[in-house]
């Protein structure tokens, strides 16, 4: 799929783990994440790479059973490629992917991109009291 010189692909062989890891280790949601954890997460997800030529400039992954549930994670576009509608295009391509149709629930967590995701139908939890979590905020930080 092409968009003004850009392409989105789910071809695992094209993913640049070094680029993905470098971004994620500096992100607010996974500071210090180990490369082995990133690789394991990618191995167990449907991954979408955003490319400008051969260079990977964005990424997203979906944790899913491909039948009832999906969780969108690790969405990013490198800063030098922002402002061109690429994140919107990436989310659109993900939502239209053939393996993600007919799902009952599609979730994500975000600190600051609510307006982007609302454009694609995401909203606050309908019944937040039903949702529970185990949250380990410092899981990627080395223990002393």
Please give the pLDDT value at position 9: 97
Q: Which burial class, exposed, middle or buried, applies to 125 when counting CB atoms under 10 A from its CB (0-12, 13-18, 19+)? A: exposed
Q: How confident is the model at residue 123 (pLDDT cuts 50, 70, 90)?
A: very high
> Which residue ranges make up each domain of the chain?
2-130
Q: Is the dihedral of CA 117, 118, 123, 124 positive or negative?
A: positive
State the average pLDDT over residues 110-126. 95
- Does domain 2-130 fall into CATH 3.50.50.60? no
Per-residue pLDDT, 114:
95
pLDDT digits (tens, 9 = 90+) for 12-65: 999 999 999 999 999 999 999 999 999 999 999 999 999 999 999 999 999 999
The predicted model scores a pTM of 0.93
User: What is residue 133's DSSP assignment?
Assistant: -
**What's the start-to-end Cα distance of the chain, in Å?**
46
């Amino acid at each position: 799929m092409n968009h003004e010189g850009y392409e989105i692909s789910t071809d695992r062989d094209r993913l640049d783990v070094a680029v993905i890891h470098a971004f994620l280790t500096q992100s607010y949601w996974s500071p210090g994440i180990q490369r082995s954890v990133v690789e394991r997460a990618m191995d167990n997800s449907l991954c979408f790479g955003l490319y400008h030529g051969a260079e990977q400039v964005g990424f997203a992954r979906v944790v899913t059973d491909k039948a009832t549930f999906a969780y969108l994670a690790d969405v990013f576009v490198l800063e030098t490629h922002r402002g061109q509608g690429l994140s919107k295009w990436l989310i659109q391509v993900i939502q239209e992917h053939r393996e993600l149709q007919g799902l009952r629930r599609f979730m994500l967590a975000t600190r600051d991109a609510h307006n982007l995701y609302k454009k694609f139908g995401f909203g606050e939890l309908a019944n937040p009291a039903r949702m529970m979590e185990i949250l380990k905020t410092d899981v990627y930080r080395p223990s002393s």
